[in-house]
A and B are shown apart, each in its own frame.
Chain A
Amino acid sequence: MGIDRRSFFQLLGVAGTTLALGKQALAKPSNDIGVEFVGMLIDTTRCVGCQTCEAACSESNHLAEQTGSPEPGKIRPLDETKFTVVNAYNTSKGEIYVKKQCMHCSQAACAAACLTKAMHKTEEGPVVWDGKKCMGCRYCMVSCPFEIPKFEYHSANPKIQKCTMCFERLVEGKIPACAENCPAEAIQFGTRRELLHEARKRIVENPDVYVDHIYGEHEAGGTGVLYLSSVPFNGLGFNTSLQKSSYPELSKGFLYGVPSVFVLWPALLLGLYEATKDNHVKTTENE
């Protein structure tokens, strides 16, 4: 839709309060207070599949103890009681373990989808959920390209469940439970900029070990969780065909068009009404 931000706000001014609907269509890539988003760098070449992160996650989030262990060819999915799982993949470089959890997108589709701002991107970076606001519509689940938010279908008071990057621990000055407890140092916590820097350094210093791709640097407009790998990511269960721009971008055009319709339509309809009303009077006079 051929309308830029400037003309959008001009229209907004013209149309008044009813038009506030299209406002703030997107989460910004960085936050207002100038604090950098935090994230995690997961190095799949270091992961040994010990599942310590799973146990730490369950304990920290008061979830049931997890069952099963990573086996190649058998994908253990995330669900409402598992915020992170480790899966194994058979590759040309042997068995590789991949930890999966919320990607904490810089411009999160789930947050843009939420009509009550229950799901939201915090100023620090984690994407978290607020039960007091959520109406349980599950539009976040429809929108998330990584299919992360999970819903408690068998509860009368259901919650949306997903990894929060241990936001409560971050507030206390701690780091996420999985990153703190990883014995293989496969999970590094830090600001997104530091992590990208570190990831690039590892690729440059060990070109034989890593493929030249940081998953999450550009995918879905950039994510808070970044991955390194020794084999192409599509062999590790990653969706590599995700668009490079953010997902909220997809409905931006529509939302920016809303104010124009709200201004133009009533005027047009009133004009049509006046025009055809005269016709009607004329024909009845002629009769």
Chain B
Amino acid sequence: MSNTEIITAQQPAFNIWKFLKEEFKPKGKWVTPFNMISLPIMFLGLVLIIIRFWKGIGSVTNLTQEVPWGIWIGFDVVTGVAFAGGAYVLTFMVYILNMKQYHSIVRVTVLNGFLAYVFYAGALLLDLGRPWNVINPIIGNSFGTSSVLFLVAWHFLLYMIAQLIEFSPTIAEWIGHRRAHKILSGMTLAAVIFGITLSTLHQSGLGALYLMAKDKIHPLWYSEFLPIMFFVSSIFAGLSMVIFEGSITYKVFSDQVTEKNHHSHHSIITGLSKICAVAMFAYLFLNVLVFVHGRHFHYLTTPMGRWYLVEMVGFVLIPMLLFFNSYRKKSIQLTKIAAVVTMVGIIVNRLNVTVIGFKWDAVSHYYPTWMEIVVTLAVIFTEIWIFRWVILRMPVLREPPTWAQNSH
């Protein structure tokens, strides 16, 4: 593409505000099953959030003085961030290891990761009793540097910026800003390296949060290796999410995807299933080591012990074998099943550490209220709405405009 072409291609009459105004209008049908289900829940969630800020956290949650963190932390944040791990694993594969065959799903994965962080950090604000002070550990008037949560908070913020930079060339392509596209594309590698480092630390950091709760978490789930467990499991949690989300996106937004990418998606999913299987093998091995080393055999006969076995066999060993098998047979269907089982397993694991196994021996247990669940669903649905909005407008799934393709 020559310089003169670029200059003439930029229409002089192009008005960015007019363009944005057009783009913010809704596209597509309004009356769809997804809209009909999600809209009432989002509205109800909003009402509950207003009540929560008006009457206090206790008015909508079942949290107690003994169990101060419920599903808004244990599911929304801790589990959600594990699922968002696909972004750092994929950027590692594509930008660091130069595995170009996975390039076509990088954008959608990074977008998913970015939105996940934005919304889970948002969900975190709902759980803060004094959210107006959330800026304190950032602006520097009170650095609690001895806190793992301080590290996690900073990493969330920095990683969101890194992911935004990774995604920004797509935004530049959308509004047709070539200079910005060139500059932002040049920042990708740095953002990726920074992002992977941050992810390593805060994925494990979420496990490290619970290190001081040594006497409160069931010994089968508590160990000094919690950070490593959380990190290793985030690899296959994230990739399972990529497989699961990809299989839906490629169907729902089928018209956006080129024939070539539709075709390559199969080999991508098979490749990911192999990585999942190996990561899960490492995770299972680590768990066996920790279990034997901790001499926890006598717990196995207790109800919690049987629950532990269900998790390890049903949600780690079996999906691991499914992944191995699906890779050998190149079966997409089997991979999808394995991904779903793995995701359920990750939810089970994170809730076991944060909610189910937390104060497991207490007289009264914490169960989420229906209101906590509705707010959680509202957060997820809002995220999907934004995701759909972006997919329908920006070149995430579809090919970038021709002028942008050389810079990759």
A136 touches which of B54, B129, B196, B211 (Cβ 8 Å): B129
A residues contacting B by CB (< 8 A) are 20-27, 77-80, 109, 111-118, 131-139, 141-143, 145, 147, 150-158, 239, 241-243, 247-248, 250-251, 253-255, 258, 261-262, 265-266, 269-270, 272-273, 276-277, 279-280
A137-B128, A276-B96 known; A115+B137 contact, CB < 8 A: yes
Count A-B pairs with CB separation below 8 Å. 184
Complexed CA–CA distance, A221 and B376 (Å): 39
| B136 to chain A: closest residue by CB | A116
| A23 to chain B: closest residue by CB | B145
A118 touches which of B142, B145, B148, B192 (Cβ 8 Å): B142
B97 touches which of A255, A262, A272 (Cβ 8 Å): A272
Chain A residues, Cβ within 8 Å of B100: 280
A138-B68, A242-B215 known; A266+B136 contact, CB < 8 A: no
Chain B: minimal CB distance from A287 (Å): 13
Is B238 interfacial (CB-CB < 8 Å)?
no
CB <8 Å contact, A250 and B212:
yes
CB <8 Å contact, A147 and B142:
no
A135 touches which of B98, B128, B189, B209 (Cβ 8 Å): B128
A269-B197, A276-B97 known; A143+B65 contact, CB < 8 A: no
B147 touches which of A113, A156, A158 (Cβ 8 Å): A113
A79-B65, A138-B69, A154-B55 known; A277+B98 contact, CB < 8 A: yes
CB <8 Å contact, A250 and B211:
yes
CB <8 Å contact, B147 and A114:
yes
CB <8 Å contact, B200 and A255:
no
CB <8 Å contact, B65 and A155:
no
Q: Give the interface segment out of B32-40, B56-64, B161-169.
A: B56-64
Complexed CA–CA distance, A156 and B60 (Å): 12
CB <8 Å contact, A151 and B145:
no
Complexed CA–CA distance, A115 and B145 (Å): 7
State the 8 A-B residue pairs at the shortest beta-carbon distance, nearest first. Answer: A136-B129, A153-B58, A136-B130, A115-B150, A138-B68, A143-B212, A141-B68, A115-B144
Chain A: minimal CB distance from B97 (Å): 5
Is B344 interfacial (CB-CB < 8 Å)?
no
Is B399 interfacial (CB-CB < 8 Å)?
no
Chain A residues, Cβ within 8 Å of B200: 261, 265
CB <8 Å contact, B149 and A115:
yes
The 12 listed contacts between A and B (C-beta, < 8 Å) are A20-B145, A24-B146, A115-B144, A116-B142, A133-B141, A135-B137, A155-B56, A241-B215, A254-B204, A254-B227, A255-B146, A266-B194
CB <8 Å contact, A158 and B197:
no
A135-B131, A158-B56, A242-B215 known; A151+B68 contact, CB < 8 A: yes
**CB-CB contacts below 8 Å: B138-193 with A:** 141-151, 153-154, 189, 192-193
A142 touches which of B128, B208, B213 (Cβ 8 Å): B213
Chain A residues, Cβ within 8 Å of B54: 156
A116 touches which of B61, B133, B208, B216 (Cβ 8 Å): B133
A135-B129, A273-B96 known; A154+B142 contact, CB < 8 A: no
* 9 additional contacts (CB under 8 A) given A21-B145, A135-B131, A158-B56: A25-B146, A113-B147, A151-B129, A153-B58, A154-B55, A156-B53, A156-B54, A157-B130, A250-B211
In the complex, per-residue mask of B211-241: 1 if CB is within 8 Å of any chain A CB, else 0: 1111110000000100100000000000000
Is B244 interfacial (CB-CB < 8 Å)?
no
A133-B133, A138-B129 known; A112+B147 contact, CB < 8 A: yes
CB <8 Å contact, B212 and A247:
yes
CB <8 Å contact, B129 and A253:
no
Complexed CA–CA distance, A146 and B132 (Å): 28
Complexed CA–CA distance, A262 and B202 (Å): 12
B212 touches which of A80, A112, A279 (Cβ 8 Å): A112
| A136 to chain B: closest residue by CB | B129
CB <8 Å contact, B224 and A266:
no
Chain A residues, Cβ within 8 Å of B189: 273
Is B373 interfacial (CB-CB < 8 Å)?
no
